[in-house]
Amino acid sequence: MKKQEFGAGIWHFATYLDRYATDGYGEPRTVIEAIELAGKVGDLSYVDINYPYFGGEFSNEEIKKSLDKAGLKVIGITPEIYTREFSKGAFTNPDPGVRKRAHELITEACDAVRFFNASYVKLWPGQDGWDYPFQVDHKTIWKNSMDGVGNLATENSDLKFVIEYKPREPRVKMIYDSMTRTLLGIEQIGLPNVGVLLDFGHAIYGGESAADSAQLAIDHGRLFGMDVNDNFRSWDDDLLAGSLHPIELFEFFYVLRKNNWQGVWQLDQFPFREDSVEMANTAIDFLKSVNRALDDLDYDALSKAQASHDAMGALKIAQKALYKHLARD
Ligand code: FE
Ligand code: FE
């Protein structure tokens, strides 16, 4: 089995604003500075980069130079289709001109994916949805969201696209809000190069079992990417992976391992008040313990327990493997 690789969204190393600290939780950083910080993480191989590049005007070549220096590769490019211009949506914007602009921006992001030889274009249509009853025609916006993704995937059949679903925020209701709805849309689009990026935190605060959602996506051949973090289950807190729901996170990774899913384990955490390098290192240490616990897990005993839905027996086997390695490593 090949060595597990780790990645992170480059935003993990940026600083943030919210509606309270409107002066930000730190001095703004350029994408180059964020890459330098990411390079300080002990075992990080990949980053997912927002497009356009934040903090200044940078060419692909300049970004590549700083990535090489930091020893990092690009897993995906995330076009920023959720900024002010797209506040009423990207694919589902009522203005066809704005929908066209989203298409153009994502098309540019496709070129960046080719340049960096990355795995996918990541679509996070955070503004696509609605806030109020009667605000939208549900048939129209669902159709527009699928047409928007479908056209891009058709025009760029050499690339993969992933949709990262999320229940809400910034829109009160997001159009791709759950695994089931996202898979339904993807199957309706009907193209081989569109898949899902499963964010553990989005799944659990949406009331899903991330393990079950992963299995569903894998069974449809659509699990193209994943990222992890944690939350209190009522919001996308993007806290340290494993800090609140370690056993559910372990079941999620167990499903990936059982299905021989081989991809990068990515962090999508937001260190508002924490040191970003320390937080990434802490999460990766945790994930390495999870990985060793998976090596150690008694799969036969577990499947035997699951065959009779023996909750106590199955949990005991899982807990034994996970907590032993967390304590030891
Ligand atoms: Fe995410
Ligand atoms: Fe998130």
Under the banding of pLDDT at 50, 70 and 90, the label for residue 122 is very high
Residue 305 Cα to ligand 1 midpoint, Å, equals 32
pLDDT of the residue at 60: 98
Whether 224 is in a domain gets the answer yes
Residue 304 Cα to ligand 2 midpoint, Å, equals 35
Task: Give the number of C-alpha atoms closer than 13 A to the C-alpha of residue 136, restricted to the C-beta side.
Answer: 23
Range of the domain at 47: 6-275
Query: In sequence order, which ranges of 156-242 are alpha helices (DSSP H)?
Result: 179-189, 200-205, 210-219
Residue 137 Cα to ligand 1 midpoint, Å, equals 28
Q: If we measure between CA atoms, which residue out of 87, 89, 77 comes closest to residue 50? A: 77
Ligand of minimum distance to the alpha carbon of 226: 1
- The whole-angstrom separation of Cα 103 and Cα 121 is 12
Under the banding of pLDDT at 50, 70 and 90, the label for residue 181 is very high
Whether 322 is in a domain gets the answer no
Residue 110 Cα to ligand 1 midpoint, Å, equals 19
Structurally, the chain folds into a number of domains equal to: 1
Residue 35 Cα to ligand 1 midpoint, Å, equals 18
Under the banding of pLDDT at 50, 70 and 90, the label for residue 319 is very high
Whether 254 is in a domain gets the answer yes
Residue 22 per-residue DSSP state:
T
What residues pair up with 73 in beta bridges, in sequence order?
46
Whether 116 is in a domain gets the answer yes
Whether 77 is in a domain gets the answer yes
What residues pair up with 50 in beta bridges, in sequence order?
78
- The whole-angstrom separation of Cα 13 and Cα 11 is 5
Whether 326 is in a domain gets the answer no
pLDDT, average across residues 138-156: 98
Q: What is the CATH number of the domain that holds 139?
A: 3.20.20.150
Interval 288-299: pLDDT, tens: 999 999 999 999
CA 70 to chain CA centroid, nearest Å: 22
- Comparing 329 with 231, the larger pLDDT belongs to 231
Number of H helices, E strands in the chain: 11, 10
Residue 10 Cα to ligand 2 midpoint, Å, equals 13
Ligand of minimum distance to the alpha carbon of 163: 1
Whether 182 is in a domain gets the answer yes
Residue 172 Cα to ligand 1 midpoint, Å, equals 17
The verdict on whether omega for the bond into residue 170 sits within 30 degrees of 0, i.e. cis, is yes
The neighbourhood of ligand 1, an ion, using CB within 5 A, equals 199, 227, 268
Structure tokens at 33: 């500075």
Under the banding of pLDDT at 50, 70 and 90, the label for residue 2 is confident
Full-model pTM: 0.97
Whether 196 is in a domain gets the answer yes
- The whole-angstrom separation of Cα 84 and Cα 168 is 17
What are the angstrom distances between the C-alpha of 91 and each of 1, 100, 122, 144, 220? 40, 8, 14, 6, 24
